Amino acid sequence: MNIEIREMQERKAKLILSDANPTLANALRRVLIADIPSLAIETVEFHLGTIGDEAEEKEYQSSTPLFDEIIAHRLGMIPIPTDLDLFNFREECEECGGEGCPNCTVIYSLNKKGPCTVYSGDLIPVGETDLGVVDDLIPIVKLSDDQAILIYAIAELGTAKEHAKWQSTSGVGYKYYPEISIDSDKCDNCKDCIDICPVDILEESEDGEIIVSDIEKCKICKSCVETCAVGAIDVKGREDKLILRYETDGTLDAETILQKGLEILQEKFNSVIEMVEDIE
């Protein structure tokens, strides 16, 4: 399988897989969705009871419009920037044996007094300052006049196999590479295909022939084939060449995700080979 990078932005990528097949593309797709480790908040400790403010001599209640469970769940969904070289899985951590240490967990504190909206940007990493959350503007909860929130949240590595909050990719999908063939002998130049194409990739060239402008946009919907009265146009999808696209939520950049994904896929294939060898 050859991978040609057609578009590689920080949070978006488009790849052309040639000399491939749908099975292989799907294997890569599933690894990108479910096997890439990333950080997400797993444990949340709430301060219960009143929260005092000595400067204002005012007492705040720790109850909020949302249940604590819902706040904890919302915190879990927030993307946290991950450096895969720095962190171990908590249960496999050799430094602390799963107790929790700077090599496997990140602790965040959240301390806010109402009336206000609590945003993800209010989560402050304890100790390490470069691990602030990716998006600052995610609303977590709203607080009214005498409400306050005091939370410690612990983030750790995980994969989306266990919970979707560790899923760092979205919209991972592939399609066959489209192929449009136009038989210029049959074509009667009625231009119906140009009008009907939903992605507007068919146009008329200077010498009056129908040409394709951006083949990769084609959805293989075959509207043009259906509308052509003389049967001059044919659309096919190639099974040996595919277009794979995905987006990331900012925990990892698109390039790191692809590298890690291919690494994991390689490991998986190797373990299958080993298992087969063990049988003999």
Partner 1 sequence: MIIPIRCFTCGKVISNIYEVYQSRVERGEEPKEVLDDLDIERYCCRRMLLAHQDLIDELMEY
Residues facing residue 191 across a β-bridge:
none
For partner 1, which is the closer residue by CB, 1 or 138? Answer: 138
For partner 1, which is the closer residue by CB, 19 or 136? Answer: 136
The answer to the question of residue 10 lying near partner 1 (CB under 8 A) is: no
Q: How far is CA 216 from CA 18, 32, 86, in A?
A: 14, 22, 38
Residue 115 DSSP SS3: coil
Give the other-Cβ count within 10 Å of 208's Cβ: 9
**Choice from 3, 24, 34, 77 touching partner 1 (CB under 8 A):** 77
Tell me the window of 134-142, 183-191, 196-204, 236-244 that interacts with partner 1 (CB under 8 A): 134-142
**Residue 243: CB minimum distance to partner 1, A:** 15
**Choice from 57, 130, 137, 275 touching partner 1 (CB under 8 A):** 137
Give the other-Cβ count within 10 Å of 274's Cβ: 9
Looking at residues 93 to 122 of the shown chain, list those that interact with partner 1 (rule: CB under 8 A): 120
The answer to the question of residue 26 lying near partner 1 (CB under 8 A) is: no
**Choice from 247, 253, 255, 263 touching partner 1 (CB under 8 A):** 247
**Which is it for strands 58-61 and 116-119: parallel, antiparallel or unpaired?**
unpaired
The answer to the question of residue 135 lying near partner 1 (CB under 8 A) is: yes
Query: Dmax of the chain from CA atoms?
Result: 88
Read off the amino acid at residue 156: E
Looking at residues 156 to 185 of the shown chain, list those that interact with partner 1 (rule: CB under 8 A): 164, 167, 169-171
Q: How many whole angstroms separate alpha carbon 231 and alpha carbon 259? A: 44
Read off the amino acid at residue 120: S
Q: How many whole angstroms separate alpha carbon 167 and alpha carbon 34? A: 6
**Choice from 97, 139, 198, 231 touching partner 1 (CB under 8 A):** 139
Report the interface residues with partner 1, using CB under 8 A: 65-66, 74, 77-79, 120, 135-139, 141-142, 144, 164, 167, 169-171, 247, 249-250
